[in-house]
Structure 1
């Protein structure tokens, strides 16, 4: 794998591997991939922090990456946007990545391998990253936090249709009782509590009809978010919820509070 630092400054590969990059195959699982935005201020000597933004069910990865470019330029950080495609476990599967594991694939480990490749290629600082996701990405983000609290500096969870509370009486993904068997690790609540979390949702994002159509009648996205907030707070996490007025189920519409939250984390030296 070519390190960008090894290419001469005039080499066309520098243009290919900075700013908006192509999609790269994920090293652990070639059915997955990722794209990166590398700020114009990047130099081989610069060890930039990383923001990971995880897509929702629609997999609008390009739009997601574009939405964080001004933030990346302003704060000199690298944006990593993984792509977990539809149809990995069966032709109609859209949900597998949200629950971290399916069909023998550990999507959390796929992401960790992606980050290691980003570290090598761009000399990135990946010990702790900023992590965000909207809708299905929000499901992935808070579950990744449970399993790898040592790898995230702060987490933003947007409008998930389903959440996992820190509940020892129920198995994954309704709870965390079986994580030692399923993932080989026990959720460390104290470590999770050290990671600040913001929960965001639009005031018009009820989602009850959508969730009922998918087999979850009677549930809504605000109720799921309230459940997650209560569970995290009960176990010591510094968590706050922001409702963006006039916005529906829209990642771009709820991005403002996420950017503000991450800006505060960067200013405080969290990564």
Structure 2
């Protein structure tokens, strides 16, 4: 793998590997991939921090990355946007990554491998990253926090349709009771509580009509977020909850509170 610092300053590879990068295959699961945004101010000495932004069911990775570019430029950090595609071993499976494992793939480990590649290629700081996710990405983000609280400095969870409470009487993904058997990891609520969490949803983001159309009346997204908030705060996590007026199920609509949240933490 080429390290950007090994390329001469005038080499065209520098232009390709800074700014908006191409998509790269994930190291051991090439059906998954990622793109990045690397500020043009990048130098190997900067050891830039990383923000991981996880897409929703629609996989609109380009727009997700694009919306975070001004934030990345202001704070000299790298945006990493993984792509977990539809149709791995099941042509109709749109949900695979949301519960972290499906079809023999551990999507949490895929992300950790991506971060190692980011560390090597850009000499980035990936020991602890900022993590955000919208909709299906919000499902991924809070579950990744449960299994890897030591790898995140803060997490923003936007509009998940389903959540996993910290309930050790229920099996994953309804709870955390069997994570040792399933993942080889016992969730530690004390470690989870050390990570500040933003919970955000649009005020107009109900979501029950979509669920009803699939035969499951379910809970609204605000109700699901309330369940997650109650579980996290009940175990000592410091959360901030934001309901965005006039916004439906929109990654762009919930992104401003996420940027504000991360900005406040970086300033602190």
* Range class of TM-score, shorter chain: over 0.9
Q: Please name the residue that 1:214 is paired with.
A: 214
Distance 1:70 1:149 in 2: 27
Of 215-224 and 67-76, more deviation after overlay is shown by 215-224
- Aligned positions of 1:186-225 closer than 5 A: 186-225=186-225
Q: Please name the residue that 1:7 is paired with.
A: 7
**SS of residue in 1 equivalent to 2:226:** helix
* Aligned 8 A contact 1:157 1:197 in 2: yes
* Aligned 8 A contact 1:161 1:211 in 2: no
Q: Please name the residue that 1:69 is paired with.
A: 69
Give the TM-score normalised by the residue count of structure 2.
0.99
* Aligned 8 A contact 1:44 1:123 in 2: yes
Task: Report how many aligned residue pairs link the two structures.
Answer: 268
Per-residue CA distance 1:159-198 (angstroms, 9 max, x = gap) = 0000000001110000000000000010011100000000
- Aligned positions of 1:24-103 closer than 5 A: 24-103=24-103
Which runs of 5 or more residues in structure 2 are unaligned?
none
Give the TM-score normalised by the residue count of structure 1.
0.98
Q: Please name the residue that 1:109 is paired with.
A: 109
**1:219, distance to aligned residue in structure 2 (A):** 1.4
Distance 2:216 2:68 in 1: 32
Distance 2:123 2:186 in 1: 31
**1:215, distance to aligned residue in structure 2 (A):** 3.9
* Aligned 8 A contact 1:65 1:81 in 2: yes
**SS of residue in 1 equivalent to 2:156:** strand
Which runs of 5 or more residues in structure 1 are unaligned?
none
Q: Please name the residue that 2:233 is paired with.
A: 233
* Aligned 8 A contact 1:247 1:253 in 2: yes
Per-residue CA distance 1:73-101 (angstroms, 9 max, x = gap) = 00000000000000013000000100000
Distance 2:216 2:43 in 1: 49
Q: Please name the residue that 1:143 is paired with.
A: 143
Distance 2:213 2:222 in 1: 17
Of 210-219 and 192-201, more deviation after overlay is shown by 210-219
**SS of residue in 2 equivalent to 1:166:** coil
